[in-house]
Amino acid sequence: MLKITNVHKKYNDNEVLKGVDITVDKGDVVVILGPSGSGKTTLLRCINFLDHANQGEMEFDEYHLQLNSASTSEVRKIRQKTAFVFQNYNLFQNKTVLENVTAGLIIGRNMEKKQAVDLALKALAKVGLSDRVDFYPSQLSGGQQQRVGIARAIAVEPDVILFDEPTSALDPELIGEVLSVIKQLAQEGTTMIIVTHEMKFAADVATHVIFMADGNIVEEGTPKDIFQHPKEERTRNFLRRILPPQVEYNI
């Protein structure tokens, strides 16, 4: 469904992505792991053109385009097929919860207001915020704001949802509510690409895991491949540092 090949991205002289390929099929939950600065977020942002890659190709259903020379209308079409959940939520501060969710439908997609509100209420029910529709973002907790962010993403019924470290800005006790919503989406067969540092969650929801370092994909495979039988030394090092140590006893 979505295939991106040979993505290169430079910030000035700093090469962040050095030729990354990624393929996503319908129903996949692709989790991207890697240390900070490995280019995970940049890759995600290149997919819907928040960052413009210097080189690379994209095949997305019937669209086939070059990442560095896509026209404004092509960019908009790709953006309408995707949704993005941000690390720091980025809710529209001047809109209520409900308006945040309907904005993409009414303003972005010219949908009738009544129909948009129906869809939005359904999406908000799914993330458990039916009782907060008339609140402004400033009145919500971080976890609730991020769930609104997710509702905003699913309401537009995108082909794929991109999650950029959706729990990194949250208090530890609020992370659970957001992860469980994403898990539920995964069980319903929503196609997602998730950048995260939550290893246990990644192992639970992923159908495919990608490990990135220094702008390259080091290793990819099923969660079992990556978490239990990593082939590359770089992956093993990363997992050893981030997973709780497995103490070996020697008597």
Partner 1 sequence: MDINYQFLIKTFYLVLTAVPTTLNITAVSLLIAMPLAFYLAVVRMRPGKYIRPLISAYITFVRGTPIFLQILIIYSILPSFLNSTAKYFALEVNVFDWNPIIYAYIVFSLNTTALLCEVFRSALGSINKGQLEAALCAGMTTAQAYRHIIIPQALVVAMPNICNLTVKLIKGTSLAFLMTVKDMTAVAKIAASYGYNYIEAYMDVFVGYIIVCSVVQVLFDFAEKHVGKFRLIKQK
Site residues for partner 1 per CB under 8 A: 48, 50, 76, 79-80, 82-84, 86, 88, 90-95, 103-104, 107-109, 135-136, 138-139, 152, 156
Around 62, how many Cα atoms within 13 Å sit in the side-chain half-sphere?
1
Among residues 80 and 216, whose Cβ is nearest to partner 1? 80
Dist CA 209 CA 238 (whole Å): 14
Among residues 79 and 126, whose Cβ is nearest to partner 1? 79
For the bound state, the minimum distance from the C-beta of residue 100 to partner 1, rounded and expressed in Å, comes to 9
Around 120, how many Cα atoms within 13 Å sit in the side-chain half-sphere?
25
Dist CA 163 CA 146 (whole Å): 11
Query: Strand 14-24's sheet: what is its strand order?
Result: 14-24, 2-11, 55-60, 63-66
Among residues 3 and 86, whose Cβ is nearest to partner 1? 86
For the bound state, the minimum distance from the C-beta of residue 198 to partner 1, rounded and expressed in Å, comes to 22
Dist CA 132 CA 153 (whole Å): 17
Dist CA 178 CA 86 (whole Å): 12
Among residues 31 and 156, whose Cβ is nearest to partner 1? 156
Dist CA 245 CA 149 (whole Å): 34
The residue to which tokens 């537009």 are assigned: 156
For the bound state, the minimum distance from the C-beta of residue 184 to partner 1, rounded and expressed in Å, comes to 22
Dist CA 225 CA 209 (whole Å): 9
For the bound state, the minimum distance from the C-beta of residue 209 to partner 1, rounded and expressed in Å, comes to 24
Among residues 45 and 126, whose Cβ is nearest to partner 1? 45
For the bound state, the minimum distance from the C-beta of residue 249 to partner 1, rounded and expressed in Å, comes to 48
Classify residue 106 as exposed, middle or buried by CB count within 10 Å of its CB (0-12, 13-18, 19+). Answer: middle
For the bound state, the minimum distance from the C-beta of residue 75 to partner 1, rounded and expressed in Å, comes to 9
Among residues 84 and 211, whose Cβ is nearest to partner 1? 84
For the bound state, the minimum distance from the C-beta of residue 202 to partner 1, rounded and expressed in Å, comes to 23
Among residues 78 and 217, whose Cβ is nearest to partner 1? 78
**Run of H or E residues at 168:** none
28 and 216 Cβ atoms separated by less than 8 Å: no
